[in-house]
Structure 1
Amino acid sequence: MVPLAGDFDGDGKDTQAAYDPTTSTFYLANSGSTAQATLAFGNAGNRPVLGRWDGTTSQIGVYMPDSGKFYLRHDNGTVSSFAFGNGGDWRPIAGDWDGNGTVTVGLYDPATSTFYLRNSNTEGPADQTFTFGNADSIPVAGDWDHTGRTNIGVYMPANLTFYFRHDDGTVTSVAYGDTGDTPITGDWNCDGRTTQGIIHS
């Protein structure tokens, strides 16, 4: 199961979710530890992504490594798709990279520790590119500064530390978690600021 987080009921607070890559199933919870919604979407081996594609509640999506295409499910149940990136081992992320109120996709290439961020959910080249992290980093994203703009970050399992890149280009770090934990980020208390979390394995 791949841990995720999103605001599925529009209350401004992120809650837990999970994706089963063997069955292509999302499990979404608004509170507590039981999923309130279960949605099958995509194919086995797809990589999950969540975002407010329509500016309201978090919706599901997948990145297909074999084709290098995103498939995003919208508020009204329709699905949009577009090619972006090279597929393969690239990891999908999502955020409001330009602060315009709409969440769009991004990708992280672990081979080069490079983020590729797109400002619209359409086919085209990256609008922003950052090299950040190292070979074993796990990509994360969030509004660390409470400014309405999403920034990149990484979790380094080797030293159990989050590294957050801020609006002004500075970097802060937070040591958190234990060996084998999986990182997650979200606005857990509805204060407009994204902070870290971990899932104990």
Structure 2
Amino acid sequence: MGPSWHLLLLVVLLAVLLALSGALSPGVARAQEQGDLPVVGAWTGGPATAGVFREGQWFLRFEHAGGSADASFWYGRSGDEPVAGDWDGDGQATVGVRRGNRFFL
């Protein structure tokens, strides 16, 4: 056995630690399907976090961690472009879509 087994052991241990921490779990921040579009917003008024827009369906995370979406809902339709912003000045981002030359906020 040469020094390569040390590297293999290190890689395996790192993979186990990442899996236990949730960093490798499928989460909303990783677009999973072709056509998924990333979105970012301060959904709860705190720091901005990631989300995904998929053919009219939104998947949002409220913290910087792996895992399932904290919120999932329909707004818009296939072909719309997602937008997010603090439209009413309350400190929280809300979703919207652009469809052609029209915005739905």
Take 1:151 and 1:141, find their aligned partners in 2: how far apart are those partners? 6
Cα shift at 1:109: 0.4
User: 1-side partners of 2:36 and 2:54: how far apart?
Assistant: 5
Query: Is 1:109 matched with 2:54?
Result: yes
Give the letter aligned to residue 86 of structure 2.
D
Give the Cα–Cα distance (whole angstroms) in 1 for the partners of residues 76 and 84 of structure 2.
13
- Is 2:103 aligned against 1:162? yes
Matched residue count: 79
Structure 1 residue matching 2:89: 3-state secondary structure: coil
Q: 1:165-195: per-residue Cα shift (whole Å, max 9, x none)?
A: xxxxxxxxxxxxxxxxxxxxxxxxxxxxxxx
> What secondary structure is seen at the aligned counterpart in 2 of 1:134?
coil
| RMSD between superposed Cα atoms in Å | 1.5
Give the counterpart letter for 2:78 in structure 1: A
Pair 1:121–1:88, CA change in 2 (3 A): farther
1:142 is matched with which residue: 85, 89, 102? Answer: 85
Sequence identity, in percent?
30
Instruction: In structure 2, give the amino acid aligned to 1:149.
Output: Q
Q: Which residue of 2 aligns with 1:31?
A: none
- Counting only pairs closer than 5 Å after superposition, residues 82-101 of structure 1 correspond to structure 2 as 83-85=26-28, 86-100=32-46
After the TM superposition, which segments of 4 or more aligned residues of structure 1 sit over 4 Å from their partners? none
Q: Which runs of 5+ in 1 are unaligned?
A: 1-80, 165-201
Larger Rg: 2
More strand by share: 1
Query: What TM-score results when the alignment is normalised by the length of structure 2?
Result: 0.69
**Greater relative CO (CA pairs within 8 A, separation 6+):** 2
Residue deviations 1:106-160, cap 9 Å, x none? 10002xx100000012101111112011122100000001011000000001xx1
Q: Does 1:125 align with 2:71?
A: no
The residue matched to 2:44 in structure 1 has which SS? coil
Normalised TM-score (structure 1): 0.37
Q: Distance in 2 between matches of 1:87 and 1:97?
A: 23
1:87 offset after TM fit, Å? 3.8
Secondary structure of 2:64 counterpart: coil
